[in-house]
A and B are shown apart, each in its own frame.
Chain A
Amino acid sequence: MFQFIVRRILIALVTIFAISIMSFVIIQLPPGDFLTSYVASLASQGDSVSEQVVQAMRENYGLDQPIYVQYLKWIGGVVQGDFGRSLEWGVPVADLIWDRLAMSLMVGLSSVLFVWSLAIPIGVYSATNQYSLIDYISTFLGFLGLAIPNFMLALVLMWIAFSAFGQDVGGLFSPEFQDAPWSFEKFINLLSHLWIPMIVVGTAGTAGLIRTMRANMLDEINQPYVETARAKGLSERRNIWKYPVRVALNPFISTVGYALPSLIGGEIIVAVVLNLPTIGPILLRGLLSQDMFLAGAIVLLLSVLTVLGTLLSDILLALLDPRIRME
């Protein structure tokens, strides 16, 4: 087990290193170095920068040095939390992304929780009561959830929140809490806004997960080990949750790691529609306006999160499934 974890951590480190190079390549991708574009963008706004300042920055970023030195300087900064400057916003990238990343994590985690707490019981029920009315209804709703575009669901829920609960529309906070420091009230305010993106982002996933959970369960419930447990006199409910559900859940645990990045990808449109202060929209804008330090930083962070998530689910799976530890 210990060996297994060490090996996985080493693999994760190597992967992260490769990702950092990729992100650096992305930053370097636009023609010319970024100072040229920086100066150009300032000039287009009517400002001008003195030659000395440009020269100082050039040295600071190591732009006249070989490419690997530039990489080392950049990654050295990243490790200390300095991701460079955003050309478009004119502020350090770090100031832009941490809050938004936290919000994205919040939306992502809450929709994962939403998806799991809904899909697993429904999937288990559908499988153990195959072809019952509820099985058909959940199948139907599941496909509906897959078919409805997210932005439409977002609009419908916003309308419901507005007309039924009199809530202000969009965002994750009411205006009075927007810039307020963190407090319990602000947190409650966040929760009252969070449910819309949670449902919108989670619905398609719920539909998919119900189908997979149902199929996995159907594979397991007729297995001899379930029969053995039944023959031992275990009650039906305890049997189902102890044996087949445990085995049927394993495939999901291995996907926890990818859940977050795919949610952030799926969330971009929703975030734009709902005006959420999350990472998706600024990634989109950063890419459109070639704000490469910003885009590179986000790509890097999301990839690292994916690697960490995968590492986590690998370890979790190994803890839960003794068969994995063997290989």
Chain B
Amino acid sequence: MSNNNVLLEVKDLKVSFYLTEATVQAVDGVSFTIEAGKTLGIVGESGCGKSVTARAILGMVRKPGKITNGEILYHRAGQAIDIAKLDPEGPEIRSIRWGEIAMIFQEPMTSLSPVHTIGNQMIEAVQLHKSVSKSAAEAVSVDLMRRVGLPYPERLLTAYRHELSGGMRQRVMIAMALTCSPRLLIADEPTTALDVTTQAQILDLMRDLQDEYNMAIMFITHNLGVIAEMADDVIVMYLGKEVEVADVDTVFYGASHPYTQALLRSIPRHDVDVERLETISGSVPDPTAIPAGCAFHPRCRHYVKGACGTPPLVQVSAQHQVRCTRVYEINEHLAAAQTE
């Protein structure tokens, strides 16, 4: 993919956590590309490695975790910087953080300091990356807080975390993430902790801001409904591996991996009777004991003993990959397309 719109290229990324009792392979050979101005959605059940992948991009994998393999190529001014090789406390990665790749974390309630004012933290973000005066940084902050729909932004400068509702805190985080006009915004389940109305408002806001600032978004969620609203391209992850990669329409109208299909069947829809809503049978296996062969086989309705093996990522069409050995047998439309 020698597209000069490419912003970030992750190649065969592996992250392991070395715990005393076992090693957890949290991310196991994931590859993807993010293009400027586009939204990549990452979806999967809890523990499949979404957050760890996101942290790896900022060089922020927590101890006892380590990137053990792969490249994270960040493209800037015709150059590619391998983030995986940078010193995680060094100046290069610190200038990329927030200045070029900003992140909104999963926990809006505690992502702000309990003992510093909102203003202090916003101004800090601006001044870490731009040499501007405090009052200029303050003006930028107020402006962005107004932009994300926060009332009385001047007053918020001196407010503390506990004085804000969950929705307001997340808006503050979004405003803070925009302070340095990043090229990529990583949003790790930015709305999961919020009520449905607030959730919808925040998603709308993010889409508007994306257009305005022309930034790419890596949107992490376990909610396919949110993916449908936000993403251009989608990666479905299961136990540290991508099991299906496609554009958003293909995922919703031509999902070909049994796991994606099961996820889709578990979304409540108004055109289907709620009583027939399915959940995926079984639960996510213990990450220290990932099933051999196809990791999904204990829960897969199409599993055939001896026929599945360890599936590779199969390229079923130009923009569509599926990690399933039996993909053509269980998807007639793909088989038909292939024989043509």
Interface residues of A (CB under 8 A from B): 222-225, 227-236, 242-243, 246-247, 250, 320-323, 326
Which of B60, B106, B116, B129 contacts A230, CB < 8 Å? B60
Q: Given A247-B115, A322-B115, A232 and B110 touching (CB < 8 A)? A: no
Taking a contact as CB atoms under 8 Å apart, the answer to whether B60 and A234 are in contact is: no
Which of A224, A233, A322 contacts B99, CB < 8 Å? A233
Taking a contact as CB atoms under 8 Å apart, the answer to whether A224 and B110 are in contact is: yes
A244 to chain B: closest residue by CB: B113
Complex-state Cα separation, A242 to B97, whole angstroms: 18
Give chain A residues whose Cβ lies under 8 Å from the Cβ of B129.
Answer: 233
User: B75 on the interface (CB 8 Å rule)?
Assistant: no
Complex-state Cα separation, A235 to B103, whole angstroms: 16
| A141 CB to nearest B CB, Å | 25
Which of A231, A235, A246, A247 contacts B89, CB < 8 Å? A235
| A16 CB to nearest B CB, Å | 31
Complex-state Cα separation, A144 to B315, whole angstroms: 64
Taking a contact as CB atoms under 8 Å apart, the answer to whether A228 and B112 are in contact is: yes
Taking a contact as CB atoms under 8 Å apart, the answer to whether B98 and A233 are in contact is: yes
Give chain A residues whose Cβ lies under 8 Å from the Cβ of B99.
Answer: 233
Complex-state Cα separation, A264 to B162, whole angstroms: 39
B113 to chain A: closest residue by CB: A225
Give residues 72-105 of B contacting A (CB, 8 Å). 89, 94-99, 102-103, 105
Taking a contact as CB atoms under 8 Å apart, the answer to whether A322 and B97 are in contact is: no
Give residues 119-161 of B contacting A (CB, 8 Å). 121, 124-125, 128-129, 160
Complex-state Cα separation, A323 to B129, whole angstroms: 30
Taking a contact as CB atoms under 8 Å apart, the answer to whether A233 and B114 are in contact is: no
Taking a contact as CB atoms under 8 Å apart, the answer to whether B62 and A222 are in contact is: yes
User: B310 on the interface (CB 8 Å rule)?
Assistant: no
User: B322 on the interface (CB 8 Å rule)?
Assistant: no
Taking a contact as CB atoms under 8 Å apart, the answer to whether B105 and A227 are in contact is: yes
| A274 CB to nearest B CB, Å | 40
Which of A222, A225, A231, A323 contacts B103, CB < 8 Å? A231
User: B58 on the interface (CB 8 Å rule)?
Assistant: yes
Which of B95, B102, B124 contacts A231, CB < 8 Å? B102
How many interface residues does B have (CB within 8 Å)? 31
A223 to chain B: closest residue by CB: B110
User: B192 on the interface (CB 8 Å rule)?
Assistant: no
Taking a contact as CB atoms under 8 Å apart, the answer to whether A234 and B128 are in contact is: yes
User: B111 on the interface (CB 8 Å rule)?
Assistant: yes
Taking a contact as CB atoms under 8 Å apart, the answer to whether B160 and A323 are in contact is: yes
Q: Given A233-B95, A233-B97, A323-B160, A228 and B128 touching (CB < 8 A)? A: no
Taking a contact as CB atoms under 8 Å apart, the answer to whether B111 and A225 are in contact is: yes
| B78 CB to nearest A CB, Å | 23
| A285 CB to nearest B CB, Å | 46
B103 to chain A: closest residue by CB: A231
New contact pairs (16) apart from A232-B124, A233-B97, A243-B116, CB-CB < 8 Å: A225-B110, A225-B111, A225-B113, A227-B60, A227-B105, A228-B111, A228-B121, A230-B60, A230-B97, A231-B60, A232-B125, A232-B128, A233-B128, A235-B94, A323-B160, A326-B162
Q: Given A232-B124, A233-B128, A243 and B162 touching (CB < 8 A)? A: no
Q: Given A224-B107, A225-B114, A321-B115, A234 and B89 touching (CB < 8 A)? A: no
Give chain B residues whose Cβ lies under 8 Å from the Cβ of A232.
Answer: 97-98, 124-125, 128, 176
Taking a contact as CB atoms under 8 Å apart, the answer to whether A224 and B111 are in contact is: yes
Complex-state Cα separation, A320 to B114, whole angstroms: 11
Give chain A residues whose Cβ lies under 8 Å from the Cβ of B128.
Answer: 232-234
Taking a contact as CB atoms under 8 Å apart, the answer to whether B114 and A247 are in contact is: yes
Contact with A along B171-193 (1 / 0, CB 8 A): 00100100000000000000000
| A321 CB to nearest B CB, Å | 6
Give chain B residues whose Cβ lies under 8 Å from the Cβ of A225.
Answer: 110-114
| B144 CB to nearest A CB, Å | 14
Complex-state Cα separation, A222 to B63, whole angstroms: 10
Give chain B residues whose Cβ lies under 8 Å from the Cβ of A246.
Answer: 113, 115-116
Taking a contact as CB atoms under 8 Å apart, the answer to whether B115 and A320 are in contact is: yes
Taking a contact as CB atoms under 8 Å apart, the answer to whether A228 and B105 are in contact is: yes
Complex-state Cα separation, A224 to B121, whole angstroms: 14
Complex-state Cα separation, A235 to B92, whole angstroms: 11
B160 to chain A: closest residue by CB: A322
A320 to chain B: closest residue by CB: B115
| A41 CB to nearest B CB, Å | 57
Complex-state Cα separation, A276 to B62, whole angstroms: 51
Complex-state Cα separation, A64 to B176, whole angstroms: 75
| B96 CB to nearest A CB, Å | 8
| A110 CB to nearest B CB, Å | 29
Sort A-B residue pairs by CB-CB distance and give the 6 closest, nearest first: A233-B97, A233-B94, A322-B160, A224-B107, A225-B113, A224-B111
Which of B98, B102, B105, B124 contacts A224, CB < 8 Å? B105
| B52 CB to nearest A CB, Å | 13
Taking a contact as CB atoms under 8 Å apart, the answer to whether B114 and A236 are in contact is: no
Give chain A residues whose Cβ lies under 8 Å from the Cβ of B105.
Answer: 224, 227-228, 231
B95 to chain A: closest residue by CB: A233
